[in-house]
Structure 1
Amino acid sequence: MTIPDAFHDHNFGRLTLRVAQSEGDLAQVAQLRRVRFRGNRGADLDRFDPLCDHLLITEAETEGALACARLRLLDGPALDECYSAQYYDLSPLVRARLRALELGRVCIADDRRQDPDILRALLAGIARRAEAQSVDLLIGCASFKGDEPGRHKAALGWLRARHTGPAELCPAKRDPLAFDLPQPGDIADQKGAMQSIPPLLRMYLGMGGWVSDHAVRDPNLDTLHVFTAVEIARIPPNRKRLLMGMAQSR
């Protein structure tokens, strides 16, 4: 993917966001992913990495990556050949002729996960890319830690009741480990159910995002995930202004 010069290096106060290009940059991304997704026990690499751009956030006073995410611009049939399409049948999005930016492997260093500026900088970088490349929607797989469905029943029921996507765009099942989101029933602790949704997914939902009507277990990473999409045109105007304001600031 060709990267405009404007995306190579962007400052957010003490933080710098750039697209990883050098071997050193890519090594920082690989190490952060190794720790966050594999417990520092083996590389977290796959066949999609060479097809993607890797955003990297660093700080002058700190060694190593503070956060990273990988992005891939997708048009037409390419949508059904992306990472998410391993698990979900994305033919509805292909038929709709939508231009998507796939987000994946979004992670923040363990000791900096409470630093709101890092997530804001990462979001601003993604917003700049989406705006510059005329993207219709952001897509990806939003994960829950632990692949036992019963552990996440309340959160998944909440998603089914309030946040499943439109029938004309929602993906169909593809993976043998897919299962329907559970019926919400009577969720007595609505606040608890909402808070048990991973922060990144809550953020996407806050931007008007939606999820698939089913989830997929991933024993390899000890997670389960739902397909997640954010239609750019449906992001609330105040949220969009905030994101683009951050994206344009230095």
Structure 2
Amino acid sequence: MHGNEFVRAKPATIKPGVMQMLRPQNMALAAQTAITWFKPPFHFDPANFNLNGAPSLGRMGPLEVRLAQDKRDVKRAQRLRYKVFYKNGTAIADAATMLARRDKDAFDKICDHLLVVDHAAKPTLSGRQPVVGTYRLLRHESAMKHGGFYTQSEFDLDGVLHSHPGLRFLELGRSCVLERYRTKRTVELLWQGIWSYVKQNRFDVMIGCASFEGTDPDALALPLSFLHHHARAPEEWRARAHGSRYVEMNRMPKEAIDQKAALRALPPLIKGYLRIGAMIGDGAVIDHQFGTTDVLIVMPVSAIGARYIEHFGGEAKAA
């Protein structure tokens, strides 16, 4: 399929009762989307920045979501990521990261960066309004041109990509929000920005890694098993963690799972993805640098519920 035609995906295997427990409510964005450090020979391409003239993608009160307009904007996003992941989080910084006080890697040069700025806050020393939330967006064409999606360092996406050759994928990553801005308003504004970007660029599928805090899968047995039994993607979408890094998610029998307790144990970001219609890949991956256990998120646009499209997209229509 091409253009604005969307693939018709099989629904995730989540029971109606479980979906009722996943209905919208106030949620905070506390989880990060993690990657393993992977540096193929990428080159900076200015055309990857400000692809749409950096118009406003949404606004709620003093908060506005838009794309980064230049290198300075990207550095502001990197400083926020450093503060959230390293200074306030559990990620382990190397000497170069500590010196720069920015979370950066080669992927930043080929991605678009979604920013939430606060127009009511005191400007920074550069005279710009502070960035309080961010998402990193990697377009299908850029990924293929420069060696692949960064998620491919953890999960084997080849089967999914090859079995859907007419679809365009968008990778979501490096999501974070400054602690005092982790409110329903900020989360909804980020999703409004993502949805606007998806519509404008006609993407068919969103993918990315989402994380649990901690590197002990036994301590995460309940939520991992819940995802395995109730949210695992059907075969055509079920990318598997690389064999050398594969961590079994099926750690408890289905009948032993307390679904309400499992939902409480899910990070807000993963819970939010499930509400919208995401599915989970096969196996988890331990990221020791970030101190997380990662799962793969697969979200065909056609699987997104109509009420969410109306909520985040306004004039958008369900596929």
> What TM-score do the two structures reach when normalised by structure 1?
0.90
2: CA distance between counterparts of 1:122 and 1:225? Answer: 21
Structure 1 residue 129 corresponds to structure 2 residue 163: no
Pairs within 5 Å for 1:59-74: 59-63=118-122, 64-74=130-140
Deviations 1:151-208 (A, max 9, x none): 2110000000100111122113326222121243244532111111111111111111
SS class of match (2:236): coil
Aligned length: 246
Residue 65 of structure 2 aligns with which residue? 17
Moved more, 35-44 or 207-216: 35-44
Q: Which runs of 5+ in 1 are unaligned?
A: none
The answer (yes or no) to whether the contact 1:76–1:99 under 8 Å persists in 2 is no
Check the 8 A contact 2:157/2:240 in 1, yes or no.
Answer: yes
Gaps of 5+ in 2: 1-47, 123-129
Q: Which of 155, 161, 182 in structure 2 is aligned with 1:94? A: 161
Q: Could you report, residue by residue, the CA deviation over 1:128-171 in whole angstroms, capped at 9, with x for unpaired residues?
A: 01111111111100111111111211000000010011112211
Change (3 A) 1:9 1:120: closer
| 1:178 is aligned to 2:226 | no
Q: CA RMSD in A?
A: 2.2
Q: Does 1:81 align with 2:148?
A: yes
- Work out the CA distance in 2 between the residues paired with 1:129 and 1:77: 17
1:56 corresponds in structure 2 to 115
Percent identity for Structure 1 against Structure 2: 28
Please show how residues 1-250 of structure 1 align to structure 2 within 5 Å. Answer: 1=48, 3-5=51-53, 7=55, 10-39=58-87, 42=98, 43-63=102-122, 64-75=130-141, 78=144, 81-95=148-162, 96-97=164-165, 98-113=167-182, 115-174=183-242, 176-185=244-253, 186-187=255-256, 189-245=258-314
Alpha-carbon distance change, 181 to 229 in structure 1, aligned in 2, over 3 angstroms: same
Residues 157 and 235 (structure 1), Cα distance of their counterparts in 2 relative to 1, 3 Å cut: same
The 3 A distance-change label for structure 1 pair 52 and 77 is closer
Show CA shifts across 1:201-236 (max 9, x none): 111111111011200000010001011011101111
Q: Which amino acid aligns with 2:83?
A: V
Q: Secondary structure at the match of 1:102?
A: strand
Q: Secondary structure at the match of 1:178?
A: coil
Q: Secondary structure at the match of 1:48?
A: helix
Query: Larger deviation: 59-68 or 210-219?
Result: 59-68
Whole-angstrom distance in 1 between the partners of 2:240 and 2:113: 28
- Once the two structures are overlaid, the 10-residue window that deviates more, 23-32 or 89-98, is 23-32
Q: Is the 8 A contact 1:76 1:94 kept in 2?
A: no
Aligned-residue offset at 1:9: 6.0
Q: Which has the larger radius of gyration?
A: 2
Give the residue type in structure 1 aligned to 2:300: E
Q: Is the 8 A contact 1:124 1:246 kept in 2?
A: no
C-alpha distance in structure 2 between counterparts of 1:76 and 1:107, whole Å? 23
Alignment-mate amino acid for residue 213 of structure 1: D
Q: Conserved in 1, the CA contact under 8 Å of 2:57 and 2:196?
A: no
Larger relative strand fraction: 1
Equivalent pair of 2:54/2:67 in contact (CA under 8 Å): no
The alignment's TM-score, normalised by the length of structure 2, stands at 0.72
Contact 2:58–2:189, Cα closer than 8 Å, also in 1 = no
Aligned to 2:38: none
Range with greater deviation from structure 2 (27-36 or 219-228): 27-36
